Amino acid sequence: MKDCIFCKISNNIINVNKIFENKELIAFNDNNPQAPFHVLIIPKKHIPTINDIDEIDKVLIGELFIAAKKIAKKNQIEKSGYRLIINCNNDGGQTVFHIHLHMLAKRKLEWPPG
Ligand code: 5GP
Ligand code: ZN
């Protein structure tokens, strides 16, 4: 997708410091962090929202969570904990329409969220 910022990041048109990458996905720090640790895990494939996930994406979506587990271990937050969030559309607070898993950690997060 030509005008998608996360496609530009995954195609190396915009450079970010990747903290994880494999064939299907990348992870990098959010540039407006909401916690001391705020990483975004994105599929390289352009999928605008959760509503656009197809049956064929089942394994890919699972890989986002496998990556989160690996990143948690590497950053030693698996015991202290973290929160994974995918926002969807306006009420969900989505601003970038290429799905991404937010990974927040290193502070006590409130519940319910704002
Ligand atoms: P959403 O609101 O769609 O759930 O989350 C989008 C996230 O992407 C926001 O937390 C925002 O700070 C982050 N973001 C938007 N543009 C960029 C960018 O160009 N680089 C990085 N690293 N993060 C971005
Ligand atoms: Zn995209």
Active site residue 100: yes
Residue 90 to residue 88: CA distance in whole angstroms: 7
pLDDT value of position 25: 98
State in Å: Cα 59 to ligand 1 middle.
24
**CB of 32 closer than 6 A to ligand 1?**
yes
Find tokens 């450079």 and name the residue.
Answer: 15
Task: List, in order, residues 6 or more apart from 20 with CB less than 8 Å away.
Answer: 26, 27, 41, 67, 70, 71, 74
Q: What is the CB neighbour count within 10 angstroms for residue 6?
A: 22
pTM above 0.85, yes or no: yes
pLDDT value of position 2: 81
pLDDT per residue as tens, the chain (114 positions) = 789 999 999 999 999 999 999 999 999 999 999 999 999 999 999 999 999 999 999 999 999 999 999 999 999 999 999 999 999 999 999 999 999 999 999 999 999 998
Query: ∠ CA(33), CA(38), CA(41), 5° rounding?
Result: 125
pLDDT value of position 4: 98
**CB of 87 closer than 6 A to ligand 1?**
yes
pLDDT value of position 37: 98
Pocket test of ligand 1: the residue of 6, 15, 18, 40 to mutate, having most ligand atoms within 8 Å of its CB, is 40
